[in-house]
A and B are shown apart, each in its own frame.
Chain A
Amino acid sequence: MSSAHTTRNQVYGWLLLTPAAILLITFTHYPAIATLAQSFFSTGTVSRPSKFIGLDNYRSMLEDEVFWKVLENNIWYAVGTIPISIAIALLMAVWVNGKLPLRGLVRMSYFTPTILPMIAVANIWLFFYTPEIGLLDQVGALFGFASHNWLGDTDTVLGCIIAIAIWKEAGFFMIFYLAALQTLPPELEEAAKLEGASRWTFFRRVTFPLLMPTTLFVLINAVINSFKLVDQLFILTKGGPDNASSLLLYYIYEAAFSFFDQNYASTLTVVLLLMLAVIAIGQFVILDKRIHYR
């Protein structure tokens, strides 16, 4: 009976899993491996079929100035977006969790960007950044600043892209902090009050450490998003001017579908996959150590 039961368990388990497994393998595992394989081949044309070229794609990638530019941009994008959006998210969560007048309305405002498509949002932000008639310049003019071509200047364009990403993500991250804050026992705050601790001390010494697992979770999401969130570029800059705002995934798209060099795009994708793998490994290492203060 017992062995028949386990055999049946085996069969049922795999049968239930099969439909999802087929799709997962076809669109996640197979393409990840195929990407690596394709990076060793040249892009085929009608007259010249694709052939094995070893590391040539990687060599031209290392000599490709745009690749380095894009990688650098992506790092700045991550550095600019992640800490600020997490800090704002935490601030929002603390505010919305407290006794704030019009709390529901405020929470809704913070969260709204999360459910709006980036592509639509970029349309509106485009107006903010438009020289002279745009909102940014109109407000600037009130204070006597000269008009500025925000998206046309290589010095400011990446900052503009970062601002949108922060605005889009902060409310989303707030939700996770809010959920975590609601699980904290209220006795903690009462005890701190009795001890005469200020709100800031309480936050720094008690709340923030207790929120560490949430911060870690949000951090990982934010890092992944800094490689994934490129939709706004299609509307605002198309990576320009002079690739000053291009990001890795956008460059992959361009290589594959504007320049039709699929195999070079695969090589670039390998770099992206490597980055994601590093994040995944980092996550496991940190989770192993467990930054729990419980």
Chain B
Amino acid sequence: MTAASHSATLGTPRRRRLKFGTVLETGAAWLLALLWLLPLIYAFWSAFHPSEYATRFDLMAPLTLDNFREAWSQAPFARYYLNTFMMVTSILIVQFILCTLAAYAFARFEFRGRDFAFALVLVQLMIMPEVLIVENYRTMSQLGLVDTITGIGLPYMASAFGIFLLRQTFKTIPKELEDAARVEGCGPLQILWKVYVPLAKPTYVAYGLVSVSYHWNNFLWPLVITNSQTTRPLTVGLAIFSAPESGVDWPIITAGTLLAVAPLLIAFLLFQRQFVQSFMHAGIK
């Protein structure tokens, strides 16, 4: 009896402490989440309210879309959307083709110098094109590709990351499937198209999402290589639009900022699980 009550008095504070710890942890996790969302929350606040409420937080403040209308009329956002869209899709399509072919070579063909060539490919993981802006700009001007969408995309199209990712995936596909296709009379390219590509679909989705978000957000190289409205992507357009010299109002800048991130943000909110899993998938390999 005494032993039981003794253990009961010991048990309760311990359980309560545990519970308190959990509550504290949950609170901390939520607080951090709120902190991490704060910039976005603020951007929404400022963009949807008249400018006198930009720095005053009043729950009764009237909502407005004027800031978006202003931003849209002050900078050629439609054109920037088009440029970014063309750049991102052209990069993605060429990346898929080039990386698939190269990854297939590395995964399933034995040729002299293969390992050395693969090591040379991996160099790009370390030395990304944005590090070599000076020489790449020189090359682009020799090729006459300065201020073109192709010029923005070309240095990224043969992606070491894509080649590496697809090679790892192709290597896990059983060779028996390939042999079966060969018996049916398929050539190497047919085998690639009918066996490897369909089975690597999750990798393509993962790589595609990572690539699109990377290039949608890329800034330094596009800034260097473009110098007109007809080629500038959203990021570069936004930087010019929001530069202090342009003298644009604060809420209008946040509205423009939201315009620039909207497509990717909406896609992310809709396909959150897919995004997170893609980045995970791409990271583990």
Contacts and interface: CB of A to CB of B under 8 A. Distances in A.
Given A119-B219, A119-B238, A179-B283, A269 B40 contact: no
B163 to A, nearest CB: 7
A120 B155 contact: no
A105 B99 CA distance: 35
Given A117-B235, A179-B283, A27 B154 contact: yes
B26 A117 contact: no
Given A20-B102, A20-B158, A106-B29, A31 B139 contact: yes
A284 to B, nearest CB: 11
Contacts of A179: 280, 283-284
A23 interface: yes
B219 A231 contact: yes
A109 interface: yes
A277 to B, nearest CB: 8
Interface string A1-36: 000001001101110110111111011111110110
Nearest to B129: A27
A136 to B, nearest CB: 11
Given A27-B132, A38-B135, A95-B25, A32 B127 contact: yes
Size class of A's contact patch? 35 or more
B130 interface: yes
Instruction: Say which size band chain B's interface belongs to.
Output: 35 or more
A109 B260 contact: no
Contacts of A6: 110
Interface stretch (A62-70, A123-131, A153-161, A203-211): A123-131
Contacts of A266: 134-135
B139 A9 contact: no
Main secondary structure of the interface of B (DSSP, over half): helix
Nearest to A38: B135
A92 B134 contact: no
A171 B283 CA distance: 13
A111 B111 contact: no
Interface in A117-150: 117-121, 123-125, 127-128, 133-135, 138
A262 B134 contact: yes
Nearest to B239: A119
Nearest to A24: B158
Nearest to B260: A120
A224 B129 CA distance: 13
A82 interface: no
B261 A175 contact: no
4 nearest A-B pairs in the assembled complex, by CB-CB distance: A13-B111, A31-B135, A13-B109, A117-B217
Given A23-B98, A104-B272, 15 more contacts: A17-B105, A24-B160, A28-B123, A31-B132, A31-B136, A100-B29, A106-B33, A108-B269, A115-B217, A117-B260, A119-B217, A119-B238, A120-B238, A135-B38, A256-B134
Interface of A: 6, 9-10, 12-14, 16-17, 19-24, 26-32, 34-35, 38, 88, 91-92, 95-96, 100-102, 104-121, 123-125, 127-128, 133-135, 138, 167, 170-172, 175-176, 178-180, 217, 224, 227-228, 230-231, 234-235, 249, 252-253, 256-257, 262, 265-266, 269, 272-273, 276-277, 279-280
